[in-house]
Structure 1
Amino acid sequence: MFDAPAPAIVDRMLAAQQHAANQFGLRATGQRVWGYRGRTLSGAAGPHWLRVVCAEAGAEGGKLWNGPSTSRALPSSVPRPDLYRIRDWTTDAYAYRAELYAFAPDPIVSPRPVLDEDPGLPEAWWKDMGAALEVLAEVPPPTDREALREEYLRRVIPQFTGHQVDAVTWTTAHGDLHYGNVTRGPHIVDWEGWGRAPYGYDAATLYLFALLVPETAARIRTELAPVLDRPEARTGLLTVCAQILQAQDRVDFYGELAGPVREQLAHL
């Protein structure tokens, strides 16, 4: 998903990946999927998928660290690879967690979070994804997990979109539902940031992250209309717009989306 980090981080994380594979009695195949700045390293290990996450010693724990393990309590009808086992260990400077997953049999939809071309997803895919989002939204929002804080969205929405925020309808969301985190199954992966978010936030992410392919975005807007047409979804849409515009100068694909997002804001 991200480029490889600095060589020293690469060496350290590869050693951690090998240690984790040994703990599980498996062999890492050499496939490497890097997280942001090398904080995570994932790849195949035998018939499974192995993810290693790292933090400075003493800084482990918290929402992102425990997101995948706590997501196991979500309904099984939300399609995601099973998390089988977890191993924690520390060194003098770093803490590590290894998570062993079932291997999703289908590839991710896009190597980037945004769509650069029509992925050709069938109608059944959207039906299944819509059903999964509906089930997830019906889960009572957890009190100890916030995908987004209310004070954050009330600050960034007016600042970056020019719109105001009225009452917020809160639901449970994946929190990072882009096209690099969904497979053609569909399965939804990377649950570290799940929690409370404005209604429609996940659907808005799928829609707005497709704006570089206008015909596909129009189709997605239709497929997700049962969510996005509801008045309470407006805050979820505005939140994703604000996040894109806030980060447009720091993240390339957000910069690419900024123009189409401004066009969307003119219609909200």
Structure 2
Amino acid sequence: MTGSPPVAAQVDLRQQPVEDVLERVEQALHVRLDRQALVRRRRSLGGRTDRGTWVRIERRGFEQIGPQGWNGTEAAAVLQGVAMPEWYQGVAWREQGEPVMWRADELELMTSPSVARSALVLDDPGLPDAWWEVLNASLDALAAQRTPRIAAPDTVTITQEQVTQILGESFPGLADTRIERWAPAHADLTWANVMGPEFSVIDWEDWGMAPRGLDAATLWGNALAVPPLADRVQQERRADFESRDGKLMSLFFLSKIVGSLSYEGDPLLAPARKEAKRLVGELQHTPDR
């Protein structure tokens, strides 16, 4: 008999003791981690090493690891023309007695910090034109490649069925949610995962094939509280946003803001509602092709 897969207990690594994990990673990768500068997030850790590299450590339950595995950062090492940290080595292990996997990857240390500490921005970071040029070159290069991997935004594998369900629940006026073009995407292109003023993209664990425009929509949506910045994203990635798939992906992102879990204190809510109304109207008046 087969049943539902076991679900991992929720753990917040910002509160959980992690010294044993750090020691295991150090022994496996033959590095020493700087404890004083350790970055702790809910399900990941990051830190500088004594040889001038960066190590990212993540804990993930079995239910969030699909058949394609969980080596996205390693798999992304073959991508060409994308500004990203070089991958050096990695290690993975199962947490004893729990349906949980740990993974640590040693990467090139980027000289520029993340543009923002969280996914969204509330102030214009004043990025130089060169930053936008490399962003465009990287996203274009990424989209031109092919991979058997399927993107998993928010650790959930993206499918046509999922897109149709989410858009149908949030925007019932949409009659057609078919995706026409799929291409490789980072799948978590937030302002915390892009570096500046020198552009690069980090955290590649969930990249793969996705509907066109997913990355552009994610970056744009997380900039809606800063209209000039959101406008710049739209301008730079105009071809994505003007495509039918790009509009659907914009709504796919907006559904997380204006849907059933929306709250009035969200700085993205008001502009998201305005943009959602515009996009639904445009898609409803787009002739069938």
TM range (shorter): 0.7 to 0.9
Q: Is the 8 A contact 1:64 1:192 kept in 2?
A: no
- The amino acid across from 2:29 in the alignment is F
- Report the more deviating stretch, 258-267 or 171-180: 258-267
Between structure 1 and structure 2, the one with the greater Rg is: 2
What residue number does 1:20 align with?
A: 25
What residue number does 1:183 align with?
A: 195
Secondary structure, counterpart of 2:194 in structure 1: coil
- The amino acid across from 1:222 in the alignment is Q
Q: CA deviation at 1:178?
A: 0.4
Q: Which runs of 5+ in 1 are unaligned?
A: none
> Pick from 254, 259, 267: which aligns with 1:241?
254
What residue number does 1:156 align with?
A: 166
What residue number does 1:264 align with?
A: 275
1:171-209 per-residue CA deviation (whole Å, 9 max, x = no partner) reads 111001000000012111111111121111101111111
Q: Would you say how many aligned residue pairs link Structure 1 and Structure 2?
A: 257
Change over 3 Å in CA distance of 1:62–1:80 after alignment to 2 = farther
Change over 3 Å in CA distance of 1:152–1:65 after alignment to 2 = same
Change over 3 Å in CA distance of 1:91–1:178 after alignment to 2 = closer
What residue number does 2:7 align with?
A: none
Q: CA deviation at 1:58?
A: 10
- Structural mapping, 1:66-215, within 5 Å: 66-75=71-80, 77-93=81-97, 95-140=101-146, 142-147=147-152, 148-162=158-172, 163-168=174-179, 169-184=181-196, 185-215=198-228
Percent sequence identity is 26
What residue number does 1:230 align with?
A: 243
What residue number does 2:58 align with?
A: 53
Distance in 2, matches of 1:135 and 1:176, equals: 17
Change over 3 Å in CA distance of 1:93–1:34 after alignment to 2 = farther
Q: CA deviation at 1:146?
A: 3.5
- Structural mapping, 1:29-40, within 5 Å: 29-30=34-35, 31-36=37-42, 39-40=43-44
Secondary structure, counterpart of 1:111 in structure 2: coil
- The amino acid across from 1:54 in the alignment is R
TM-score by length of 1: 0.85
Q: CA deviation at 1:265?
A: 1.3
1:192-243 per-residue CA deviation (whole Å, 9 max, x = no partner) reads 1111211111011111110101122222222222322233322221211123
What residue number does 2:12 align with?
A: 5
1:65-94 per-residue CA deviation (whole Å, 9 max, x = no partner) reads 22112222222x111101101123345235
Q: CA deviation at 1:53?
A: 2.1
Q: CA deviation at 1:55?
A: 4.0
- The amino acid across from 2:258 in the alignment is L
- Report the more deviating stretch, 80-89 or 172-181: 80-89
Distance in 1, matches of 2:185 and 2:61, equals: 28
1:2-48 per-residue CA deviation (whole Å, 9 max, x = no partner) reads xx9377x621x332122212332322112232343xx3211111211
